[in-house]
C-alpha cells in the first residue's frame, strides 16, 4: 500500500530495485486463479498487478536521480515538494527513442485483460446485489483499471496531445467517480477531509484534470470533483491536486 503511494507520487529508487520488484510480483501474478470467489481475492491480485505496472513505468523513465537530489537540497519540504518533470503520475518519456519494451508492455496490458475477465462474473453478481459497499469497491477497481491501461499504453509518449486518444477512458473515470464520491465522502467538510490509506479515485481524477485536453467539460467536471469531494488518500489530497489540475488547465485553455 505504501509502496504504491510512492510509485504514484515521487519515487527516486533505482532501476535495479524496480526490476527486482517486477520479478517478485510477476511470480505471484502467475498464480492468479481462473475464477475469483471473493472481492478480497480480486483486490489482492489487482494490488499486485497495479504495483508491478507502476514499477515498470518508473523503471523506464530514466530520471537523473543525482541531479534531482541536488536540486532538492535547498528546497525545504515545508514550503514545496519541488516536483521534477517526469516524476508525477504518467510522466512522459523525456525523448524519442527505440521502444524495446513493447513485448513487456503488451504482456502487462494483457494481464489487466485476464484479471478483468476473471473478475467479470463476480462483478456482475455484485452489481445485481444489494451491498452498496461492494458495489463502490468494485467501481473503484474499474477506475484503477482505466488508469493502468492509460499508463501502460502511454509509457513511450513524449507529447501531451498523445493522450487525446483516451477520451473514452477519461469519460468512464468521471462517470464512475460520480457514483463513488457520494459514498466515500458523505460527511467530509471543507475543513475536515476524509482520510484513508488506500489509493482510490483522487489520482485518477487528477489524471483526467491534467491530461484530458480534447473535451473540456469532462476535464472541468473532474477538477470540480477534486475540489469538492475533500478526500485524502495517503499523500494524495483532492483539494491540493484539484488546484494543481485547475492551474494546468488555465495554462492551456
Q: How many CB atoms lie within 10 A of CB 160?
A: 13
CA 136 to CA 142: how far, in whole Å? 10
* Dihedral angle over CA of 167, 60, 141, 33, nearest 10: 130
Query: For 71-116, what is each residue's pLDDT tens digit?
Result: 445 555 444 444 454 444 555 554 554 556 788 888 999 999 999 9
Query: 166 and 144 in one domain?
Result: no
Query: 21 and 128 in one domain?
Result: yes
Residue 41 confidence (pLDDT): 95
Q: Is a pLDDT exceeding 60 seen at residue 137?
A: yes
Residue scoring higher pLDDT (202 or 157):
202
Query: 38 and 19 in one domain?
Result: yes
Residue 236 confidence (pLDDT): 85
Query: 79 and 21 in one domain?
Result: yes
Cβ-count burial of 72 within 10 angstroms (0-12 exposed, 13-18 middle, 19+ buried)?
middle
CA 132 to CA 126: how far, in whole Å? 9
CA 93 to CA 248: how far, in whole Å? 19
Residue 169 confidence (pLDDT): 95
For residue 207 the three cell numbers come to: 489524471
Residue scoring higher pLDDT (190 or 191):
191
- DSSP H/E element including 171: helix 167-184
Residue scoring higher pLDDT (183 or 86):
183
Residue 228's domain comprises: 161-253
Q: What pLDDT band is residue 204 in, cutting at 50, 70 and 90?
A: very high
Q: Distance from CA of residue 170 to its chain's centroid?
A: 12
Query: 134 and 33 in one domain?
Result: yes
CA 197 to CA 218: how far, in whole Å? 27
Query: 232 and 176 in one domain?
Result: yes
CA 204 to CA 171: how far, in whole Å? 11
Query: 126 and 20 in one domain?
Result: yes
SS3 117: helix
Query: 9 and 57 in one domain?
Result: yes
Residue 184 confidence (pLDDT): 79
Q: What pLDDT band is residue 232 in, cutting at 50, 70 and 90?
A: confident
Report the domain count for the chain: 2
At which residue does the C-alpha cell 527513442 appear? 97
Please compute the mean of the pLDDT values over residues 197-219 and round it to a whole number. 90
| Full DSSP string of 11-43 | ----HHHHHHHHHHHHHHHTT--SS--SHHHHH
Domain boundary among 156, 179, 194: 156
Q: How many CB atoms lie within 10 A of CB 14?
A: 11
Query: 185 and 139 in one domain?
Result: no
Q: How many CB atoms lie within 10 A of CB 82?
A: 15
CA 157 to CA 90: how far, in whole Å? 10
Query: 120 and 37 in one domain?
Result: yes
Residue 202 confidence (pLDDT): 93
Residue 250 confidence (pLDDT): 93
Residue scoring higher pLDDT (74 or 192):
192
Residue 5 confidence (pLDDT): 65
Query: 171 and 152 in one domain?
Result: no
Please compute the mean of the pLDDT values over residues 20-39 and round it to a whole number. 94
Query: 152 and 165 in one domain?
Result: no
Query: Which of 215, 217, 225, 213 minimizes the C-alpha distance to 249?
Result: 213
CA 132 to CA 127: how far, in whole Å? 9
Task: Report whether 148 contacts 112 (CB < 8 A).
Answer: yes
Domain boundary among 119, 140, 156: 156
Domain boundary among 141, 156, 171: 156
pTM: 0.81
Residue 70 confidence (pLDDT): 52
Q: Is a pLDDT exceeding 50 seen at residue 50?
A: yes
Number of residues assigned to the chain: 253
Task: Report whether 52 contacts 26 (CB < 8 A).
Answer: yes
Amino acid at each position: 500500500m505504501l509502496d504504491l503511494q510512492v510509485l504514484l507520487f515521487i519515487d527516486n529508487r533505482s532501476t535495479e530495485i524496480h526490476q527486482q520488484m517486477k520479478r517478485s510480483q510477476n511470480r505471484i501474478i502467475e498464480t492468479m486463479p481462473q475464477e475469483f470467489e471473493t472481492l478480497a481475492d480480486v483486490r489482492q491480485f489487482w494490488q499486485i498487478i497495479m504495483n508491478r505496472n507502476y514499477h515498470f513505468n518508473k523503471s523506464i523513465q530514466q530520471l537523473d536521480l543525482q541531479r534531482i537530489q541536488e536540486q532538492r537540497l535547498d528546497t525545504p519540504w515545508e514550503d514545496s515538494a519541488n516536483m521534477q518533470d517526469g516524476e508525477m503520475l504518467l510522466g512522459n518519456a523525456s525523448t524519442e527513442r527505440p521502444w524495446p519494451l513493447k513485448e513487456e508492455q503488451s504482456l502487462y496490458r494483457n494481464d489487466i485483460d485476464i484479471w478483468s475477465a476473471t473478475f467479470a462474473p463476480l462483478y456482475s453478481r455484485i452489481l445485481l446485489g444489494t451491498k452498496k459497499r461492494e458495489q463502490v469497491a468494485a467501481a473503484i477497481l474499474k477506475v484503477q483499471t482505466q488508469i493502468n491501461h492509460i499508463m501502460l499504453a502511454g509509457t513511450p509518449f513524449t507529447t501531451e496531445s498523445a493522450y487525446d486518444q483516451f477520451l473514452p477512458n477519461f469519460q468512464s473515470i468521471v462517470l464512475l467517480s460520480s457514483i463513488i464520491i457520494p459514498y466515500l465522502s458523505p460527511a467530509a467538510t471543507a475543513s475536515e477531509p476524509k482520510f484513508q490509506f488506500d489509493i482510490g479515485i483522487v489520482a485518477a481524477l487528477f489524471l483526467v484534470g491534467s491530461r484530458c485536453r480534447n473535451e473540456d467539460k469532462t476535464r472541468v467536471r473532474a477538477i470540480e470533483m477534486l475540489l469538492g469531494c475533500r478526500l485524502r488518500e495517503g499523500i494524495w489530497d483532492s483539494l491540493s491536486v484539484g488546484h494543481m489540475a485547475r492551474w494546468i488547465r488555465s495554462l492551456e485553455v
